[in-house]
A and B are shown apart, each in its own frame.
Chain A
Amino acid sequence: MDELLQALVQGFFVGSAYGLLALGMGLVYGVSGIVNFAHGDFVSLGMYLCFALFTAFALDPYVSVVITAPVMIALGAVVYRFLIKPIAGRQLLMVIQLTLGVALLIQNGLMMAFGGQPTRAPSMIESKLFLVGDVVIRGAHLVACIVSFALAILLYVMLQSTDIGRAIRAVQQEPRAAALMGVDVGRVQVMTFAIGVGILAIAAALLLPGLPIQPTQGLRFTVITLLVFVLGGMTNFVAIMLGGVVIGVAEAIGTIYMTHTLGQLLPYLIFVAIMLFRPQGLVWRS
């Protein structure tokens, strides 16, 4: 029973960060209709940027975000403007191939810069543990959860009640009409992609404490993000966060109750099961 509670709590906390990863993907998909297969490699890049700042200046990942987020936002804008935009709207497969190419570029770039050995960027909060009843809560998980939900709410409010948020949704729903109302559709697309990548910089720092990193890990994040993204019905914010929690909990339960390999399979099994019975995802309002 204690173990189950432990798994639920831990899964919920980590899952909220997965939800955040998928929000970035959902935002970009909604506005530009593209699925970025380099998503997880941008997370990877964010983590290595934190690692580099740690080795160079002994900066804590939570502090490094102040630097990595703007850098990644700028990178996102450049990647969209000069790589994705020229072929967006053409064959879907072309965009997928392009982003896969970006993924390999990042992976190998990281390999060249940092070598293939797993490494870590320690955080001051990493070893902090709290005991609530019999449940152990890791400080880093708590921070990840709070920041993820805070960011999700912030994004939601931004989309709902600011001019730029309305412009983003307008481009999502009816790009032609948005353009006729004076919205610069191209700029909105670049901006949302940049925001999406910026979110990944933050998510990277949240997931980093205690996690060994290696250059080839990106695909794992991409796959988790895709699971959550699809579970959440691709654009529904609340459902995406919920999807993140579902996958996080499945992962935690798998790790605690099952052997290593089988445990890692559990999120996928649950995903397949949910897709079989609710192909529209976890959305309740279409």
Chain B
Amino acid sequence: MLEMQGITAGYDGVPALRDVSIAVGRGELVGLLGANNAGKSTLINVISGTVPIMSGRLILDGEDISNVGAQRRVELGLVQVPEGRLVFPQMTVRENLLLGGYNRKARPARPANMDHVVSLFPRLGERLGQLAGTLSGGEQQMVAIGRGLMAGARVLMLDEPSLGLSPLFVQFIFEIIDKLHAEGMTILLVEQNLSLTVRHADRCYVLERGVVAVEGPSATVADDPRTRAAYLGM
């Protein structure tokens, strides 16, 4: 469904990713692993269109979208749930979700998407009128994921959704990820947490200093000694 072909990309002419090729199939849950600064966030920002591609191609449903602007990519269903959640603190939960459905394609589907989000996160349903800035970290993560779903995501890209959450919430968020996966959502999951990710993802890629070091089914990746090496920077 989504394919990166030999992509080199980075900020200010300095490549943070070098010749990276990954593929995410329809309905797949793909994990993207690696240590800090391995280029994981850069990779999904390349897909979101906020980091420019220096060379290589980005393919969605067989079409080259390398030169498509960031706004249009959201309309195409490439939606990122950013690291650190980045909810709109002075807006209510409802407003955050409505803004998620801001793009032209998602607007008509807002009521239906809202029902879906509330059914996934009943807790948000109870707090629709509350300012997002006053929520706990876990609840803000729910808002961030809900906002992404409201945008009409066809490929949901989650950047470190477990970051800074209590173990209980981490477990809950991963249950939600499993549920979305079961519903047929295509998911690209960026995580530092190796053991958690390999347990949930179908396949994984391990990035090391901007290149793909290991790739394959989750179980193989988990057992591959190079994975550990990539994490330890050896």
Which residues in A have some Cβ–Cβ distance to B below 8 Å? 163, 166-167, 169-170, 173-174, 176-184
Contacts and interface: CB of A to CB of B under 8 A. Distances in A.
Contact of B86 (A176, A182, A183): A176
A177 B103 contact: no
- Is the interface on chain B under 10, 10 to 19, 20 to 34, or 35 or more residues? 20 to 34
A176 B71 CA distance: 12
B151 A182 contact: yes
19 contacts: A166-B95, A166-B102, A169-B91, A170-B102, A173-B90, A174-B86, A174-B89, A176-B86, A177-B87, A177-B88, A179-B50, A180-B82, A180-B86, A181-B151, A182-B70, A182-B71, A182-B74, A183-B99, A184-B71
A169 B88 contact: yes
A173 B95 CA distance: 13
Contacts of A180: 48, 50, 70, 74, 79-80, 82, 86
Interface string B72-102: 0011000110100011111100010011101
Contacts of A182: 70-71, 74-75, 102-103, 106, 151
9 cross-chain pairs, A with B, having the tightest CB-CB distances, nearest first: A182-B74, A182-B103, A177-B86, A173-B88, A166-B99, A174-B86, A180-B80, A182-B71, A170-B99
Interface in B40-54: 48, 50
Contacts of B71: 182-184
Nearest to A171: B88
B203 interface: no
B154 interface: no
A126 B82 CA distance: 56
B74 A181 contact: yes
A112 to B, nearest CB: 42
B88 A170 contact: yes
A157 B90 CA distance: 16
Contacts of B75: 182
Interface centre among A174, A180, A182 (most CB of B within 10 A): A180
A166 B147 CA distance: 13
Contacts of A169: 88, 90-91, 95
Contacts of B79: 180-181
Contact of A174 (B50, B87, B100): B87
A182 B99 CA distance: 9
Contacts of B151: 181-182
